[in-house]
Amino acid sequence: MTYDLLSPTQLSAALLPDLLLMGGAIVLMLVAAWRPESDAHQRTVGLAAIGLLIATMATVVWMSVRGDSALETGVIAVDGFRWMVDLILLLGAIGTIALAIEHNERDGITQAESHVLVLFAVAGMMILAAARDLMVVFLGIEIMSVAVYVLTGLNRRSARSAEASLKYFLLGAFATAFLLYGMALVYGATGQTQFAEIGLVIRRLNLIDNPMLLVGIGLMLVGMAFKVAAAPFHMWAPDVYDGAPTPITAFMAATVKTAAFASFLRIWYEAFYSVFNGWAHAVWWLAVLTMVVGNVVALSQKNIKRMLAYSSIVHTGYLLVTVTAASVLASTAFTFYALAYTLATFGAFAVVASMQPAGETDARISDYQGLWHVRPWMATAMAVFLLALLGFPVFGGVGFFAKWYLIQAAIAAPAGLTILAVILVLTSVISAGYYLQVVRVMFMMPRADEAVEPLPVGALTRAVLAVTVVLILGLGLFPSRLVEITQSNGFRPYAYSPALDMGLPRFEP
């Protein structure tokens, strides 16, 4: 159906999945507090949360199949892009909780509320994916971030977890201030908070060179770059990812990033597309810097969680290409890439989580030495995830097509980003160095004599591993259906046909 977003009832109807999730989360929080903390209770609430997420997913699918749309531009979007992103976020949340239930048992975390926090975080993210108004963006970011700050410090007995949480909170608050100040300046320059209106005003009043607007966009860019961990605003990521409980690390690396990027794309495509020339250079260089820094620093990591943290920074760099590319194709490439990246990241962190003994230990890459000889399937699965992150065909499954899609979006972009595509592939060669390092440790080195037998893997973690491997490999052979779905759910930069000749490094033979 078509919603009239000015009417409160219809606005609520358009927010049905979000409201369902939030309402369910509130109920679940009461349930969680109802009984004393225990492992069994923690598990029950976790499973109930997964059930709620699946119900939300079903609602999203139902609304997207129905082809709902909004009558006119409002504070939220009702479009395919939102549904696509919602589904990826919900998938990530299910993975997080599935891993967290067993990880909590092992680490002695009995607070059932931890799962509810994941639900709140996802609710915030879904609002972000829908937001078409700066105020709503801020609301979503805060709901998401506050929950994730707490989740990072979930393991109260771990000093590292506390350190990570505090660091994330302080830096996150700082970055939010940037974002908010940027929003204020943009509002000051345009007098609008809705994306479409901002775009219109910029065009009508010809604010393309307005300093207040440009500074506002710049500050917002800094805030967004922090949220997605783009270099040079990435410094928090390795420490936080390393200190947080492993399932939460996966959540941050994949799901939080997807949500932040969805909003990033929407703001930049819809509100700021008219001043493309003003920010394209900055994002271009941000992408290059992120790819280079992430890849080079990842090479020297000895801790697998830190290595994956830097790898997630690298993927931020790749995804920034979709922001600069600014086209329908790029927005669909983003959803495709986000899905592939979510699958691979959750798979990899599932292995990390199940390999980690209880207590506060370094997840060293050398612990994986000779894993193939004792856990052949897990080592093979890990190899698949790493090759997917590397973007390798067939063995890395859908990861390859994700990269292919990005390259296609970059070359076909109106601004012509062939050079960026070349930089992307060249830096991804560097990434072979560290992804394959793990493969080589697992497959080509003998098991160390003093190495302990890896712990048995729980049923839920097994399920996450199986689902991610099957999806990655299956979609890696037959991606056409997924391509079709993403392609019909893209969204268009709010087109006032700006002059695209802004002198980005171009491929001009």
Partner 1 sequence: MTKFLVGIGYNGWILPVLLVLPLVGGLLLVLHRCTQRQDADAAMRSARSIAFWIFVAEAVLSIGLWWSIDTVSADWQAYVDVAWIPQWGARFTVGIDGIALMLILLTTLLMPLAVLGSWTSIRVNPHAFYTLLLVLTTGMLGVFMALDLAFFYVMWEVMLVPMYLIIGIWGGQRRLYASIKFFIYTMVGSLLMLVAIVSLGLQAGQGGPPVFSYDAILALTRAAPVVGSYWLFGAFALAFAVKVPMFPFHTWLPDAHVEAPTAGSVILAAIMLKMGTFGFVRFAVPLFPDVAMDPTVRTIILVLAVIGIVYGALVALVQPDFKKLVAYSSVSHLGFVILGIFAMTVESMQGALMVTISHGISTGALFLLIGMIYERRHTRQIDDFGGIAKVMPIFAVFLTVVSLSAIGVPGTNGFVGEFLVLIGSFPTQPYYTVIAATSVVFAAAYLLWAVQRIIYNPLVKPENAALKGNDLNWREIGLLTPLVIAILWLGVYPKPVLNKTEAAADRLVRSVEAARMGSMQQLPPAGGR
Backbone dihedral angles phi then psi of residue 105, each to the nearest 5 degrees: -55, -45
Cβ 298 to partner 1, closest distance in Å?
15
Which range of residues in 113-121, 200-208, 243-251, 483-491 is near partner 1 by CB under 8 A?
483-491
> Segment near partner 1 (CB under 8 A), from 48-56, 106-114, 271-279, 408-416?
408-416
Contact 118, 52 (CB under 8 A): no
Residue closer to partner 1 by CB (options 287, 421) is: 421
Residue 156 three-state SS? coil
Between 20 and 412, CB nearer to partner 1? 412
Q: Contact with partner 1 (CB under 8 A): which of 81, 120, 310, 443?
A: 443
| Spatial separation of the C-alpha atoms in residues 305 and 246, rounded to whole Å | 8
- Applying CB under 8 A, the span of 92-100, 294-302, 341-349, 440-448 interacting with partner 1 comes to 440-448
- Quick one: which of 411, 466, 473, 495 contacts partner 1 (CB under 8 A)? 411
Using CA atoms, how far apart are residues 85 and 88, in angstroms rounded to an integer? Answer: 5
207 in contact with partner 1 (CB under 8 A): no
Residue 318 in contact with partner 1, rule: CB under 8 A: no
From the list 291, 297, 144, 312, the residue with the least C-alpha distance to 240 is 312
Q: Does 340 bind partner 1 (CB under 8 A)?
A: no
C-alpha distances in Å from residue 381, one per residue of 91, 253, 445: 19, 19, 17
We find the least distance from the C-beta atom of residue 494 to partner 1, in angstroms, to be 22
Establish if 404 lies at the interface with partner 1 (CB under 8 A). yes
With CB under 8 A, what is the number of residues at the site for partner 1?
34
Q: How far is the CB of 84 from partner 1 (least distance, A)?
A: 15
* Binding range to partner 1, per CB under 8 A, among 168-176, 287-295, 313-321, 420-428: 420-428
Classify residue 317 by burial, with Cβ atoms within 10 Å: 0-12, 13-18, 19+: buried
Which helix (DSSP H) or strand (DSSP E) does residue 494 occupy? Answer: none
Q: What Cα–Cα distance (Å) separates residue 166 from each residue in 119, 123, 307, 464?
A: 21, 23, 21, 30
CA angle 57, 63, 69 (to 5 degrees): 135
Residue 425 near partner 1 by CB under 8 A: yes
Binding status of residue 331 toward partner 1 by CB under 8 A:
no
According to the binding rule CB under 8 A, does residue 387 interact with partner 1?
yes
Q: Is 438 one of the binding residues for partner 1 (CB under 8 A)?
A: no
Binding partner 1 (rule: CB under 8 A), the pick from 188, 232, 359, 433 is 433
Closer CB to partner 1, 47 or 328, in the complex: 328
State which of positions 450-479 bind partner 1 (CB under 8 A).
Answer: 478-479
Least distance between partner 1 and beta carbon 263 (Å): 26
Q: CA 79, CA 335: separation in Å to the nearest integer?
A: 13
Neighbour count for residue 481 (Cβ, 10 Å) = 9
If one asks whether residue 27 binds partner 1 (CB under 8 A), the answer comes out as: no
Show the binding pattern over residues 223-252: x = contacts partner 1 (CB under 8 A), - = does not.
------------------------------
The set of residues, in sequence order, having a beta carbon less than 8 Å from that of 58 and lying 6+ positions away, is: none
487 binds partner 1 (CB under 8 A): yes
What whole-number distance in Å separates Cα of residue 314 and Cα of residue 406? 14
* Distant-in-sequence, close-in-space partners of 93: CB < 8 Å, separation ≥ 6: 53, 118, 119, 121, 122, 251, 255
Q: Which residues have C-beta within 8 Å of that of residue 239, sequence separation ≥ 6?
A: 163, 164, 167
Query: CA–CA distance from 17 to each of 21, 126, 421 (Å)?
Result: 6, 9, 37
44 contributes a contact to partner 1 by CB under 8 A? no
Q: Which amino acid is at 196?
A: A
**Residues within the interface to partner 1 (CB under 8 A):** 387, 392-395, 400-401, 404, 407-408, 411-412, 418, 421-422, 425-426, 428-429, 432-433, 436, 440, 443-445, 478-480, 483-484, 487, 507, 509
